Structure 1
Amino acid sequence: MRIAYQYRLRPTRQQSTVLDRWLSMLCAQYNYLLADRFNWYEQNRSPVNACPLICHLPELRDNPDYYSQKKTLPQLKETHPWYGEIYSQVLQDVVKRVKVTFDRFLKGDSNGKRSGRPRFKARNRYRTFTYPQMKEGCLQSNLINLPMFGKVKVILHRPIPDGFKIKIASVTKKADGFYLTLSLEDKTVPEIKPDFNPDKITGIDMGLKEFLTTSEAETVAIPQHYRKSQKRLRVIQKRVSRRKKGSNGRLEAIKQLGRQHKKVADKRKDFHFKTVNWLLSKYDVVAHEQLNIKGLARTRLAKSVLDAGWSSFLSILTNKAVNAGLMVVPVNAHNTSQDCSGCGEKVPKKLHIRWHSCSCGCELDRDHNAAVNIKNRAVGQSVLKAQSMSEAIAGVAEKPTPTEYSMV
C-alpha cells in the first residue's frame, strides 16, 4: 500500500535560493526536451493529402524516446557545467515527465483518452522536482537529507507510521513556501472489516443547500469558503490589475493573491477531512451517488459545485475508508430525488421544490428522501446480496479490485 504525507519545509535563505535555481534549470531542461519531441513530430510527418513515398521530407532522425533523451544528460553536464549540481535522478525524472506528457498527447492514457497539446512551462509554472529513490534513514529527527542538496529542516506535524518506508520524495514550491511530499510504502494490504454491522450503513446525498444529508436525516452545513472570501479576493485582484506589468509591486501582489487562494483551498481540505472522519467514525459502509461532476461544473451552478469540492471529498472518503478497513459504495444517481423511498413510485418535482410528498403517505425532505434511496440501492447491489454481510465482505476481501485499493 502507498500513502503520501506532506510536510512543511523550513529552508534557510541560502537553501531557498538554491531550490529556486534548481527549479529554474529543470524548467529550462523540460522545455528543451519537449521542444526536441515537437521538432521530431513536425519533421517526420507528411500532410494528409500527400503520399509519404513521393512527398519531400527533410532528413529523418530517430524518435527521441525516453532512453535516447536520458543519454543526453551526461553531455548536458559537459556543455552546461552548472547542471552538475543537480542530482542525476532528479534530472532523469524530468525526462520521464516529458515522456508521460507527450505519450498522453499522442496515444492517450490507459482508458484511451488523449490530452491536449503539451504546453511549455513558464518559470513560475514549474514548481516541483522529485527524488525517485530515497535511502533508508534519510529522515533523522526534524531533518531530511536530500542527495546533493543537504539537510533541510522539516516540520513533522505527524510521525511516519510504523512499518512504512520512504520511497519517493518531492519538493514543491507553493504560494506560502516549500513543502515536502513523502511517498510511503507498506507491503501489508489493509484488511476489510469482516463483520459489518447492518445498522451502520448509510447513504449520503450531496447538495448545495446542505453539503450532505445522510439517510438518518443528519445534515452537514455547506461552508462556502470561496464565496465568503470573494470580497477579500476582489480587493487583491484589483491590486494586481492596477500594478504595472513586470514591476516588483505587481509580483508581490500576485504572491499575496496566491496565498489567499491557498488559504481558501486549505480551509476546504480541512473541512473535507473532518467530515470524512465524522462519517467513518459512525458508519461501516457509506453509499454515495456516482455524480458527473465535470458536467455539473459546466452549468450555471459551476461556482457553487466547485466551491463545495465534491470530487475531492469523495476521493478522500474512499481512501480513508480503505485504510480503516471500511467500504464506500457508489450507486447509480438516476432519479434518487424523484423516486419515493417508501413505495418506489416516481414523484416528479422541480429543483426548487425541496419537500417530497407521495400518495403513499411518505413525506420528508427531498435530500433525506434521496439519501434513503441511495442507501437502499447500495444494500441491493450484488456486493451486499449475500446471505450475511460477513460472507459478502469476505468475498470482496479475497478478490480485491484495483479501484478498491487505489491510493491517491
Structure 2
Amino acid sequence: MRLSHQYRLRPTAQQQVQMEQWLELLRRQYNHRLAERFNWWEQNRCDVNACPLICHLPEPKDKPTYYVQATDLPNSKTLFPEYKQVYSQVLQDCVKRVEKTYDRWIKGDSNGNRSGKPRFKGKGRYRSFTFSQIKNQNCINGKFIKLPKIGNVKLILHRPLPDGFKIKTATITRKIDGWYLNLSLEDASVPIITPDAPTMDNTIGIDVGLKSFLVTSTGESVEIPQYYRKAEKRLKRLQRQLSKKKKGSKRRVKAIKRLAKAHLKVANQRKDFHYKTANHLLTQGHVAHEDLNIKGLAKSKLAKSVNDAGWGQFLQILSFKAAKAGLMTIPVNPNGTTQACSGCGETVPKTIADRWHSCPHCGLELDRDHNAAINIKQRAVGHPVQALGGDRVVEPEKREACAVS
C-alpha cells in the first residue's frame, strides 16, 4: 500500500540558500537536457515522405535517452564544479523528469493522448527536487529529518508516520509561503482490499453542477463555495498593484508574493473543501459519477465557474480516498442522464433553464439534478429501469420502487 504525507519544513537561513541554489542548478540542467532532445529530434526527423532509389542517408546520432543523459552527469560535474554540491539522485531525478515530459509529447500516455510540446523552465519555475531513495529509515529524529548533503532540517510533524510503513521517496517543494516535505510511504504487508460489487444499497450517485456543487441520489445537496469568486475583488486589486510596479524592483517582488499568497489561499480552501466532501460521501459506500470531459468544459464560456468548482481535482481526491477505504468510484456515460426519467426510463426533454423534472409518463416530480443523480446510480449498478423506454409500460408498484430508490 502506498501513502503520501506532507509536512511543513522550517529550514535555517543557510539551508534555504542551499536549497535555492539546488533549484537553480537543477533548472539549468533540466533546460540543457531538454535542449539535447530537441536538437536530436530536429536533426533526425525527415519531412519528406518519399526518397529516390539511390540516396545517401546520414548516420543517425545516438538518441539522448535517460540512461545516456544520466551517464553524462559526471561530465557535467567536471565542467561545472558547482554541480558537485547537488546530491546525485536528485540530478538523476531531474533527467527522469525530462524524459517523462518529452515522452508524453512524442508518444503520449497509455490511451494515446499526447501532451503539448515541453517548455523550458524560466527563472523560479523549477520548484521541487526529489530524493528517490532514503536509505536510513530512521532519518526522522524528533522534530528533525536528515537529508543527504543538506543536514538536519526542522519539520512540523503534525501527524506521526503510520507503523510499518517505510519511506520510499522524499520531495522538497518550495511554495510561496515556505518549504514543504512530501514523503511517499509504502507497506507491502498491507493487503489490497477487494471492494464489494456495487448494488442499490451500497452505492450512491452524484451529479456535479454549477448551481450546487453536487446533488446525491438521496436528495442531499452540497452548495458550491465559489472561493475564487469571493476572492476575485481582492485578486484584481493585487493584480493592478503588481502591474504598476517597475520590473526588476524589490517592490514588484513583494507584490508578486502578495498576489501568489492570495491565489494559494484560494487553492488551499478549495482543496480542503474537496477532501471533506469526499470523506463525507465515502461514508455512504461506493460513489458513481458522470465521466465528464472536464478539459472541454474548462474551455467553454463557463470556464471560470468550472475551474472554480475544481471537479477534476475533486474526482481525483475521491478516487484516491475510495481506494484507501476499500471502495470504488464508478464513472458512467453522462449521455442522457438529465433527460431520462429515473422512474420509468422515458426521455423527458429539458433545456438548461428547466430545473425541475416532471415526467408525463409516470408522474414523477423531483429536482432535475436529483433525477440525474438517481440515473447515474442506476447506470452504475445496472438497474433494469435504464433498459426501459419506448412504449413499454411500468407497473405502478415497480414505478414507486424505482422512484424511491
Q: Same-fold call, TM > 0.5?
A: yes
By how many angstroms is 1:72 displaced?
1.6
The letter for the 2-side match of 1:339 is A
Counterparts of 2:109 and 2:375, CA distance in 1: 35
Aligned to 2:225: 223
Counterparts of 2:282 and 2:101, CA distance in 1: 37
- The change in CA–CA distance for 1:205 and 1:49 in structure 2 (over 3 A counts) is closer
Counterparts of 2:25 and 2:56, CA distance in 1: 40
Aligned: 1:376 with 2:344: no
Pairing 1:124-203 to 2, within 5 Å after superposition: 124-135=124-135, 136-187=137-188, 188-192=190-194, 199-203=201-205
Task: Give the one of 257, 273, 276 matched to 2:275.
Answer: 273
RMSD: 2.0
Counterparts of 1:99 and 1:214, CA distance in 2: 42
The letter for the 1-side match of 2:68 is S
By how many angstroms is 1:170 displaced?
0.6
The letter for the 2-side match of 1:229 is A
Aligned to 1:406: none
By how many angstroms is 1:199 displaced?
3.3
Pairing 1:7-406 to 2, within 5 Å after superposition: 7-48=7-48, 51=51, 54=55, 61-135=61-135, 136-187=137-188, 188-192=190-194, 199-281=201-283, 283-359=284-360, 360-380=362-382
Question: Residue 111 of structure 2: SS of its match in structure 1?
Answer: coil
Question: Deviations for 1:41-76, whole angstroms, at most 9, x for unmatched residues?
Answer: 22233442784974786x853222222211221122
Query: Percent sequence identity over matched residues?
Result: 58
The letter for the 2-side match of 1:215 is S
The range that moved more, 264-273 or 30-39, is 30-39
The range that moved more, 235-244 or 105-114, is 105-114
By how many angstroms is 1:327 displaced?
2.3
Counterparts of 1:45 and 1:12, CA distance in 2: 49
Aligned length: 380
Conservation of the 8 A alpha-carbon contact between 1:190 and 1:324: no
The letter for the 2-side match of 1:276 is A
Counterparts of 2:206 and 2:107, CA distance in 1: 38
Question: Deviations for 1:255-277, whole angstroms, at most 9, x for unmatched residues?
Answer: 11111111000000000111111
Conservation of the 8 A alpha-carbon contact between 2:11 and 2:153: yes
The letter for the 2-side match of 1:278 is H
Counterparts of 1:66 and 1:270, CA distance in 2: 37
Conservation of the 8 A alpha-carbon contact between 1:10 and 1:154: yes
By how many angstroms is 1:154 displaced?
1.1
The letter for the 1-side match of 2:323 is V
Counterparts of 1:323 and 1:207, CA distance in 2: 26
Question: Residue 268 of structure 1: SS of its match in structure 2?
Answer: helix
Question: Deviations for 1:318-352, whole angstroms, at most 9, x for unmatched residues?
Answer: 11111111222222211111111111111101011
Counterparts of 2:56 and 2:127, CA distance in 1: 43
Moved over 3 A (4+): 49-57, 192-200
By how many angstroms is 1:184 displaced?
0.9
Counterparts of 1:336 and 1:40, CA distance in 2: 49
Aligned to 2:387: none
Question: Residue 125 of structure 1: SS of its match in structure 2?
Answer: coil
- The change in CA–CA distance for 1:123 and 1:50 in structure 2 (over 3 A counts) is farther
Give me the TM-score of the superposition, normalised by structure 1: 0.88
Conservation of the 8 A alpha-carbon contact between 2:26 and 2:94: yes
Conservation of the 8 A alpha-carbon contact between 2:172 and 2:180: yes
By how many angstroms is 1:201 displaced?
2.4
Aligned to 1:388: none
By how many angstroms is 1:248 displaced?
1.5
Counterparts of 1:381 and 1:181, CA distance in 2: 43
By how many angstroms is 1:371 displaced?
1.1
Counterparts of 1:110 and 1:379, CA distance in 2: 27
Counterparts of 1:84 and 1:108, CA distance in 2: 34
